[in-house]
Amino acid sequence: MLLYDKIPAHVGVIMDGNGRWAEVRGFPRIEGHRRGAERAKEIVTAANEIGVRVLTLYTFSLENWQRPKDEVTTLMKILEIYLRNEFNEFMEKKIVFKAIGEIWMLPENVQELIAETEQRTAANTGMTLVAALSYGGRNEIIRAVKRIISENVNPDDITEDFFESFLDTAGIPSPDLIIRTSGERRVSNFLLWQGAYSEFYFTETLWPDFTKDEFMAALNDYQTRERRFGAVPARVKS
């Protein structure tokens, strides 16, 4: 039974396994990405309905640019279609959309669509949906350092909170839970700074098969954890 007073405020998802899902079924890899986009829609809806405040989806990494050109082109088209098709849903559900990463590397039409979607949903008051696009955690940290240097900041003024204000996720709480599908057990350059004390949930399920029920199972598992943030466990009184 899910305890609604213990819902993680911020959930990050590494959506892995689209290509493998397609390959084992004899489909082109891109069919896996299409099914993955459909699954993302389902999980966004579920997260919003149960009260998650921020959902960050690892949508396209910096490393993904190394994939075949035709696959990347189709991925960009799927992203464009998703944003166009879901805009009315964002407005109806009051979802705020935000993209993080090296957005300038995306096709110009996608950049424009992202900017428009961010602007038009900015005043919404519901869940924030963060799309990590052309994103890498190390890259984000380096970019933050460069911006701090460019502002001639006194080193004594640099605290963790100050540094976080230069990250792409400034103003967004760190993820309480990070989910990774497909059986891989690594973070793959996702929210490296922000995930320092996140709880992790790994599943063998490939992303296109990751249903709302499994998402709920991940949240139930999260609620069994004792989050100590480096402190000792609470003592049980005898």
Distances (CA, A) of 191 to 24, 81, 132, 197, 212: 30, 26, 9, 11, 23
* Secondary structure class of 226 (helix, strand, coil): coil
Catalytic residue among 5, 18, 48, 64: 64
Task: Classify burial at 204, counting beta carbons within 10 Å of its beta carbon; exposed 0-12, middle 13-18, buried 19 or more.
Answer: exposed
Q: How far apart, in whole angstroms, are the C-alpha atoms of residue 96 and residue 91?
A: 8
* Secondary structure class of 13 (helix, strand, coil): strand
Active site residue 85: no
Catalytic residue among 5, 16, 88, 209: 16
Active site residue 209: no
Q: Which residues are catalytic?
A: 16, 64
